[in-house]
Amino acid sequence: DSRLKSREEYKNINFLITAGGTKEYIDPVRFISNKSSGKMGLAFCDSVKKRGGSFRLICPSSVEAHYPAVFADTAGDMLARVNDFISECDILIMAAAVADYKPKKYFSSKIKKNNGHMCVDLEKNPDILQEISGYKRKNQVFVGFAAESDNLQENALKKLKDKKLDMIVANDISRKDIGFDSLYNEVTVFFADGKVEHIGKKRKSEIAEDILNFAVNIFKNKKG
Ligand code: CTP
Ligand code: CA
């Protein structure tokens, strides 16, 4: 029946899913992070499971994952963990919001307040997708995300190309009714072959299913 079919659809496909915002520590109790809750990444886990695929989840320990996960708090940790597991995956879903910068210096003791101002020098983090793009296998599918407040199409297309992605899921973060903290989203997906698909406002769980279907179709076509 159709329920059985849905449980088998992604059988024998291995997904690697990253979720949540990385934390870049200043001292033992303070960090720089971002608004990503990890909900979108977890929605991918749910739908992969529902369709009988297997996945490995990599996320910061603060993400309330109802799945076993490999923890990676910082961008540096996440790069290392993605490197550990990338070769065994067919489809990478890079939903994590990786911090672009980290504090230049980590203070191993808690910083005390003083009477003057306080400066935190930042340096660039590695770009995980960029780093792994060099050894992407022909039959792997890499899916990236782009949260944009302006020039959505132009920025998303540049990331698609620079990071050698098969597809990029772009959402407009200037919209208050969707995205961060919301169960809903609305996205535009740009594909490496030039195709564009808009997914109108709906639950993140439903958006995850649409995106996975696109990715699995690309994977099946690559495999031939
Ligand atoms: N990404 C990554 N490593 C980083 C930063 C981002 O792998 N250090 C990934 C994200 O997980 C996402 C994609 O790259 O899938 C795009 O992230 P985004 O922040 O939109 O793009 P950036 O390249 O960081 O550019 P900018 O933030 O300046 O728009
Ligand atoms: Ca970024």
CATH (domain of 131): 3.40.50.10300
| Ligand 1 environment, Cβ below 6 A | 75, 94, 96, 98, 100, 125, 127-129, 144-147, 159
For the CA of 102, the nearest ligand = 1
pLDDT at 174 > cutoff 70? yes
Predicted pLDDT of residue 2: 66
Is the ipTM higher than 0.90? The answer is yes
Question: Is 110 flagged in the annotation as binding?
Answer: yes
Ligand 1 atom nearest the C-alpha of 100 is 8
**Cα separation, 119 vs 116, whole angstroms:** 10
Question: Is 180 flagged in the annotation as binding?
Answer: no
How many CB atoms within 10 Å of residue 200?
7
pLDDT at 12 > cutoff 70? yes
Burial (CB < 10 A; 0-12, 13-18, 19+), residue 169, is buried
Q: Whose Cα sits closest to atom 9 in ligand 1?
A: 129
Question: Which residue segment(s) compose the domain that 146 sits in?
Answer: 2-223
DSSP string across 16-42:
EEE-SB--EEEETTEEE--S--SHHHH
pLDDT at 6 > cutoff 90? no
User: Using one digit for the tens of pLDDT, what is the confidence trace for 41-87?
Assistant: 999 999 999 999 999 999 999 999 899 999 999 999 999 999 999 99
Say if residues 169 and 187 touch (Cβ distance below 8 Å): yes
83 carries an active-site annotation = no
Q: Tell me the pLDDT band of 176, cut-offs 50, 70 and 90.
A: confident
Is the pTM here over 0.90, yes or no? Answer: yes
For the CA of 96, the nearest ligand = 1
Tell me which of 182 and 187 has the higher pLDDT. Answer: 187
Give the active site residue among 34, 115, 155, 185.
Answer: 34
Q: Report CA Rg, the chain.
A: 18
Instruction: Kindly give the distance from the C-alpha atom of residue 19 to the centroid of ligand 1, in angstroms, as a whole number.
Output: 13
Q: Tell me the pLDDT band of 177, cut-offs 50, 70 and 90.
A: confident
Question: Is 150 flagged in the annotation as binding?
Answer: no
Q: Whose Cα sits closest to atom 27 in ligand 1?
A: 100
Say if residues 105 and 121 touch (Cβ distance below 8 Å): yes
Average pLDDT over residues 89-113: 97
pLDDT at 1 > cutoff 70? no
Give me the number of domains the chain comprises.
1
Question: Is 163 flagged in the annotation as binding?
Answer: yes
Ligand 1 atom nearest the C-alpha of 143 is 15
Q: Whose Cα sits closest to atom 24 in ligand 1?
A: 100
